[in-house]
C-alpha cells in the first residue's frame, strides 16, 4: 500500500517567523506573544511585568493596535524600548511587521521581547510571529464561556492567564467551567489567576516567566529553530 506523506508547506509569513525566531535565539531573548480580546488587560499586565523584572532583567515591548501610540507610551517607562505598530485595518500582527521592527530594536541588550498583539481572540492565533511562547489572557468580565467558544487560541496557548480576578465577586464567573473546557482542548496548559490592579497572582506569573527564560537558555529548547 502506498502511503502519501503530506508536509506542511510553509507560507511567506511562516518563513519570516522562522527568521525572527533565529534572531531571538541569537540574542538569547525570550519572545512572548500576548493574545486576548480588546481590554482584557494586556498592557496593564505588561506595565507591571516590565517594572517587576527590573533591575535584573530588561524588556522590549512591541505593540500592535489599529491606531494610536497609546499602548507604547504606557509601556515606555521601564522598557529598553517600546515600539508601536499600527496595523490599520488588520486584526493581528504579521511576522514581517515584527521583522521590520527588529531592525531598530536593541535585541542584544534585552532579556525579553513582549509582543502585545492586536486585541482579538481569533486572528492573532493564525499568524506565527516567531515567538517562543503564546500567553492568552481572559478577563473575568468577558465571561466563563469563552474557552469553548474560541478554542483555536486556547489550544495554542502555552499559558492561560485569568485576569481581573479582583472582579470575581462582582460578576458571575465559574472558574471550574474554564478548567473543564481547557482540559478538553489543551490538557496540560498552566493557568494563573491574577489581578494586575491589586497584585494578586503576580508572583507565580513572574516566576513562570523567569522559569521559561531559564529553560530556553539552558536547554535551548524553545529557542531551537526548525531548520
Ligand atoms: N479591575 C481590574 N481592571 C483592570 C485590571 N487590569 C486592567 N484593568 C483595566 O482594564 C482596562 C483595559 O486594560 P488594558 O490593559 O488597556 O487592556 P488591553 O488588553 O491592553 O486592551 P487593548 O490593547 O485595547 O486590547 C483598563 O481600564 C484597565 O485599568 C485588573 O487587574 N483589574
Ligand atoms: Mg493594550
Domains and CATH numbers, the chain: 12-217 (3.40.50.300)
pLDDT in tens, 152-210: 999 999 999 999 999 998 998 999 999 999 999 999 999 999 999 999 999 999 999 99
Q: In the chain, at which residue ranges do the beta strands (DSSP E only) sit? A: 30-35, 59-65, 81-86, 112-116, 133-139, 159-163, 191-193
Which ligand 1 atom is nearest residue 65's CA? Answer: 23
Distance (Å, whole) CA 110 – CA 81: 9
Any atom of ligand 1 within 6 Å of the Cβ of 216 = no
Rg of the chain's alpha carbons, rounded to an integer?
A: 17
Q: What is the pTM for the complete model shown?
A: 0.93
| pLDDT score recorded for residue 216 | 80
For ligand 1, mutation pick of 36, 44, 161 (most atoms within 8 Å of CB): 44
Q: Which residues 6+ apart lie within 8 Å of 129 measured at CB? A: 17, 20, 31, 33, 93, 94, 95, 98, 115, 117
| pLDDT score recorded for residue 225 | 44
**Cell numbers 534585552 correspond to what residue?**
110
The region of weakest confidence among 6-20, 32-46, 110-124 is: 6-20
pLDDT in tens, 104-157: 999 999 999 999 999 999 999 999 999 999 999 999 999 999 999 999 999 999
Write out the three cell numbers for 227.
Answer: 531548520
Cβ-based burial of 170 (10 A; exposed 0-12, middle 13-18, buried ≥19): exposed
What pLDDT band is residue 7 in, cutting at 50, 70 and 90? low
pLDDT at 55 over 70: yes
Write out the three cell numbers for 143.
Answer: 465571561
Alpha carbon distances (Å) from 30 to 22, 57, 107, 188, 210: 11, 11, 10, 21, 9
How many Cβ atoms from other residues are within 10 Å of residue 214's Cβ? 11
Query: Side by side, which strands form the sheet with 133-139?
Result: 81-86, 59-65, 112-116, 30-35, 133-139, 159-163, 191-193
Cβ < 5 A residues, ion ligand 2: 42-43, 71
| Averaged pLDDT for residues 60-68 | 97
pLDDT in tens, 71-102: 999 999 999 999 999 999 999 999 999 999 99
Q: Which residue is closest in CA terms to ligand 1's atom 13?
A: 41
Q: How far is the CA of 48 from the centre of ligand 1 (A)?
A: 12
Please tell me what DSSP assigns to residue 40.
Answer: S
Q: How far is the CA of 43 from the centre of ligand 2 (A)?
A: 4
Q: Which residue is closest in CA terms to ligand 1's atom 3?
A: 164
What pLDDT band is residue 227 in, cutting at 50, 70 and 90? very low
| pLDDT score recorded for residue 224 | 46
| pLDDT score recorded for residue 178 | 97
- Ligand with the closest atom to the CA of 201: 1
Alpha carbon distances (Å) from 107 to 61, 79, 103: 11, 12, 9
Q: Which residue is closest in CA terms to ligand 1's atom 2?
A: 164
pLDDT at 226 over 80: no
Amino acid at each position: 500500500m502506498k502511503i502519501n506523506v503530506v508536509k506542511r508547506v510553509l507560507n511567506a509569513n511562516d518563513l519570516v517567523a522562522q527568521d525572527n525566531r533565529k534572531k531571538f535565539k541569537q540574542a538569547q531573548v525570550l519572545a512572548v506573544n500576548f493574545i486576548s480580546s480588546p481590554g482584557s488587560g494586556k498592557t496593564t499586565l505588561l506595565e507591571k511585568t516590565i517594572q517587576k523584572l527590573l533591575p535584573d532583567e530588561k524588556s522590549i515591548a512591541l505593540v500592535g493596535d489599529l491606531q494610536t501610540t497609546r499602548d507604547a507610551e504606557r509601556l515606555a517607562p521601564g522598557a529598553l524600548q517600546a515600539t508601536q505598530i499600527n496595523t490599520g485595518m488588520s486584526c493581528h500582527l504579521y511576522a514581517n511587521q515584527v521583522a521590520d521592527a527588529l531592525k531598530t530594536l536593541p535585541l542584544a541588550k534585552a532579556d525579553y521581547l513582549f509582543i502585545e498583539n492586536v486585541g482579538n481572540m481569533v486572528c492573532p492565533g493564525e499568524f506565527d510571529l516567531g515567538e517562543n511562547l503564546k500567553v492568552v489572557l481572559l478577563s473575568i468580565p468577558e465571561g466563563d464561556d469563552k474557552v469553548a467558544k474560541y478554542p483555536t487560541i486556547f489550544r495554542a496557548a502555552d499559558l492561560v492567564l485569568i485576569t481581573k480576578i479582583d472582579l470575581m465577586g462582582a460578576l458571575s464567573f465559574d472558574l471550574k467551567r474554564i478548567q473543564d473546557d481547557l482540559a478538553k482542548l489543551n490538557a496540560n496548559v498552566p493557568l494563573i489567576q491574577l489581578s494586575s490592579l491589586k497584585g494578586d497572582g503576580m508572583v507565580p506569573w513572574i516566576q513562570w516567566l523567569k522559569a521559561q527564560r531559564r529553560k530556553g537558555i539552558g536547554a535551548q529548547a524553545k529557542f531551537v529553530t526548525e531548520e
